[in-house]
Structure 1
Amino acid sequence: MKLALFADGHVGTQIADWLLQHYADDLCLVVTTQENSITEAAKQHDVPAVAFRSEQQVLDFAGTRSIAPDLGILAWWPQLIRQAFLDFPRHGFINTHPSLLPFNRGKHYNFWAIVEKAPFGVTLHMVEQGVDNGDIVAQRQIAYDWEDNGESLFHRAQSTMLDLFRETYPKIRSLQFARTPQDLSKGSFHHSSELEPASQVFLKQTYQAEELLNRLRARTFDEHPSCWFEADGTKYEVRINIRKADS
């Protein structure tokens, strides 16, 4: 197995560290968004590493070193892969997506899962042209309840994704994993531009109590913007804390 790892953020760092510790010989290339601890760790294991500027730059870097990956992993990678780049690894790319596909494809999975009362979890899936629509390689569902909010789902998705990747990687590295097509008639898709309009609360509008509570807790995330409303020309933010009552 010759693996090209595209890694970013906490999940990407953890996956890179785990692969370098246990399967360093599999890695033929590590790509990051900038020079950071991931690139430093890769170089310490004599794995070629490059900070991404463009797909062509990565292809040129690989070409000068005769790097020809069998498979690519997008570990919390923030950019879409264009069609022309999908053939860079011989067997394509597998992406880490923090939702239970086909539910909540696209952006802000933690917000929309709660708002839509959708099943939640994490997914490893093949990358195809489009967004989060490729065949499913592995999934793990995450149960949640009224005490959860956007922040708790975000962190639970990260830890569960790491567990799922470690569990699945032996099948991935032997190319012995199953592929299950998604039923895109189910689930949902959201653009990043939908978050702010969905976060506004209108004081004169009638809401079902469950709907309003779900919106408020879905956008509750420390040090991040929350739901909001306007009164007398002033904007106010709203966060809520839901806990089980003592019996």
Structure 2
Amino acid sequence: MDYLKTQGRIFDIQRYSIHDGTGIRTIVFLKGCPLRCRWCSNPESQEYKIQTMMVQGKPKTIGRDVTVAEVMEIVEKDRPYYRRSYGGMTLSGGESLMQPEFARDLLRAAKESGINTALESTAYAKYEVIESILPYLDTYLLDVKHMDSRKHKEFTGRPNELIQENVRKITDSGMTEVIIRVPVIPGFNDRKDEIEAIARFASTLKNVKKMHLLPYHRLGQDKYAGLGREYFLDGILPPTNEYMEMLLDAAVRVSGLDCQIGG
């Protein structure tokens, strides 16, 4: 099985996660991303190159090259937890589609081993890349950040036309489960009308039944200093629970989807 020899670059593997898919999951974080979201909690994921980041006053190498087989050795260790909790492996980043062959072959290896697969992605890639991974994917956790392309580019560095086009193609493909996920970022997309616009869009998508609102947090802020970078949302506070509930009610009312906070 030559695909087990496919090599890629990761910066972390997180075991026993209860986020980014059903059940207990192993999350593989891939290096490289075409977007530069101001709120990104994994800024070390954005550059494909191997970096040095200061962590608690000590230099830490971020990024290592591995094969599909090496990753699967770690993923396989938790198979009993996947079976009992309906969990599995999730690819995250960064944007996994920046390493298309590695992402595809990782998902293939897990799928052919009977392990549930998920991908957390913003779908910013050629659709041919996305299409190549869909046969090996159980759940697509699809980030939709804003409906206004100008504002999307201002806060992420990229417009959103390609993303919206791919979202439509993915949901038209017959993909088993697509969950729309919205990072709720103060000053970017946290107005009621902005969330409603995303919810309306989500309601028009085939096979989409769920939408998750992910409240902004500052857990990755210290990483920017560790990389010698400026954190552009310094001083911005996370939304309150009450405010998130208001946005949730608006999303449910507009879309009719199964909406929740977090996920």
TM-score by length of 1: 0.31
Looking at secondary structure, tell me which structure has more strand per residue: 2
Specify the structure having the higher radius of gyration (Cα).
1
TM-score by length of 2: 0.30
